[in-house]
């Protein structure tokens, strides 16, 4: 059985880590390099950096932050936001990232996932999906949850797996920042359809929420922001709770 992972998510705007609700109403919560070192020292398994304003500038601007983080942090790093070309991926990897998360460009041109996975390997390509409930379906959104695509999330996850994505990052826009727990129904539905690892993001308000999504759906990792940024839990305490009280098989 694969060991479950805890990933710290850092959404970055103008060199500040920010946090909002439903991916909006952003407020500054800290310095990205300082928070990355803090979560690394506490035992986080991976870091996820998202350029929160890449859609405005049509590019990813995290290269300098990633280079600095890699001097002090030695866990896998995923970079997302504004990844639109093969060159963008190469720049992120050259800066020290291990993986890239692709959303908008994949929706606009699904063949980009295929091309990227062929060039860099599936293990490097994360399909980032922003999901909003719309009637009886979850719809894929882009541009930080602002733009509807008309695509059904459950159809899209199967397509990105077929195209060569090595992992899926599913962010529930409805739950993001609410601290009301993950969208369990969404995570269960996706985990029944694909065989690649799933990272769940959006909604963690306490350690129980993280345990809940692990125990009730077959996901592989959680991406946590508010829980760590607002010091509701430390990485170490969360891992102890999940491992020793809930018997969840974690990387320790």
Does 250 map to a domain? no
Does 252 map to a domain? no
Q: Residue 71: how many CB atoms within 10 A of its CB?
A: 10
Confidence of residue 57 (pLDDT cuts 50, 70, 90): low
In the predicted model, what is the mean pLDDT of residues 29-57?
Answer: 90
In this structure, the strands spanning 137-142 and 147-152 are: antiparallel
Q: Are 224 and 6 in contact (CB under 8 A)?
A: yes
In the predicted model, what is the mean pLDDT of residues 17-41?
Answer: 86
In this structure, the strands spanning 16-21 and 24-30 are: antiparallel
Q: Give the Cα-Cα-Cα angle 152, 158, 162 (nearest 5 degrees).
A: 140
Predicted local confidence at residue 131, as pLDDT = 97
Active-site residue, from 11, 139, 161, 209:
11
Say if residue 25's pLDDT is above 70.
Answer: no
Predicted local confidence at residue 14, as pLDDT = 86
Query: Among residues 74, 96, 92, which one has the least CA distance to residue 83?
Result: 92
Predicted local confidence at residue 59, as pLDDT = 55
Sign of the C-alpha dihedral computed for residues 167, 121, 141 and 224 taken in this order: positive
Q: For the purposes of burial, counting CB atoms within 10 Å of the CB of 163, is it exposed (0-12), middle (13-18) or buried (19 or more)?
A: buried
In the predicted model, what is the mean pLDDT of residues 68-84?
Answer: 95
**Chain centroid, CA 170 distance in Å:** 7
What is the rounded average pLDDT for all residues in the chain? 93
| Helix intervals (H) in the chain | 32-41, 54-57, 63-69, 86-95, 104-108, 111-120, 153-163, 184-191, 207-216, 226-229, 235-240
Q: Active site includes 130?
A: yes
Cα(26)–Cα(169) distance, integer angstroms: 21
Does 251 map to a domain? no
Predicted local confidence at residue 144, as pLDDT = 78
What is the share, in percent, of the chain residues with pLDDT greater than 70? 95
Domain count of the fold of the chain? 1
Cα(69)–Cα(35) distance, integer angstroms: 10
Predicted local confidence at residue 126, as pLDDT = 98
Cα(151)–Cα(19) distance, integer angstroms: 26
Does 34 map to a domain? yes
Active-site residue, from 88, 130, 174, 212:
130
Model pLDDT for residues 110-151, shown as the tens digit of each residue: 999 999 999 999 999 999 999 999 999 999 999 877 899 999
pTM score, two decimals?
0.95
In the predicted model, what is the mean pLDDT of residues 165-172?
Answer: 98
Tracing tokens 């129980």 back to the chain, one arrives at 208
Q: What is the CATH number of the domain that holds 82?
A: 3.20.20.70
Predicted local confidence at residue 20, as pLDDT = 73
Predicted local confidence at residue 189, as pLDDT = 97
Q: Active site includes 176?
A: no
Q: Range of 157's domain?
A: 5-245
Cα(173)–Cα(22) distance, integer angstroms: 5
Q: Are 95 and 77 in contact (CB under 8 A)?
A: no
């Amino acid at each position: 059985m694969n060991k479950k992972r805890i990933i710290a998510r850092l959404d970055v705007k103008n060199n500040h880590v920010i946090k909002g609700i439903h991916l909006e109403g952003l407020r500054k919560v800290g310095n990205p390099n300082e928070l990355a070192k803090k979560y690394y020292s506490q035992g986080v398994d991976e870091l996820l950096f998202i350029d929160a304003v890449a859609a405005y500038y049509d590019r990813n601007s995290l290269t300098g932050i990633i280079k600095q983080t890699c001097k002090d942090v030695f866990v896998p790093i995923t970079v997302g936001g504004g990844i639109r070309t093969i060159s963008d991926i190469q720049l992120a990897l050259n800066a020290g990232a291990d993986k890239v998360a692709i959303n908008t460009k994949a929706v606009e041109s699904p063949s980009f996932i295929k091309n990227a996975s062929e060039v860099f390997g599936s293990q490097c390509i994360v399909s980032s999906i922003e999901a909003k409930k719309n009637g009886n379906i979850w719809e894929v959104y882009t541009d930080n949850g602002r733009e509807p695509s008309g695509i059904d999330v459950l159809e899209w996850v199967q397509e990105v797996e077929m195209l060569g994505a090595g992992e899926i990052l599913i962010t529930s826009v409805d739950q993001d920042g609410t601290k009301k727990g993950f969208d369990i129904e969404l995570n269960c539905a996706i985990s029944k359809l694909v065989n690649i690892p799933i990272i769940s993001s959006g909604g963690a308000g306490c350690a129980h929420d993280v345990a809940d999504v692990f125990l009730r759906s077959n996901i592989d990792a959680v991406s946590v922001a508010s829980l760590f940024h607002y010091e509701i839990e430390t990485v170490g305490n969360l891992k102890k709770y999940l491992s020793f009280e809930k018997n969840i098989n974690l990387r320790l």
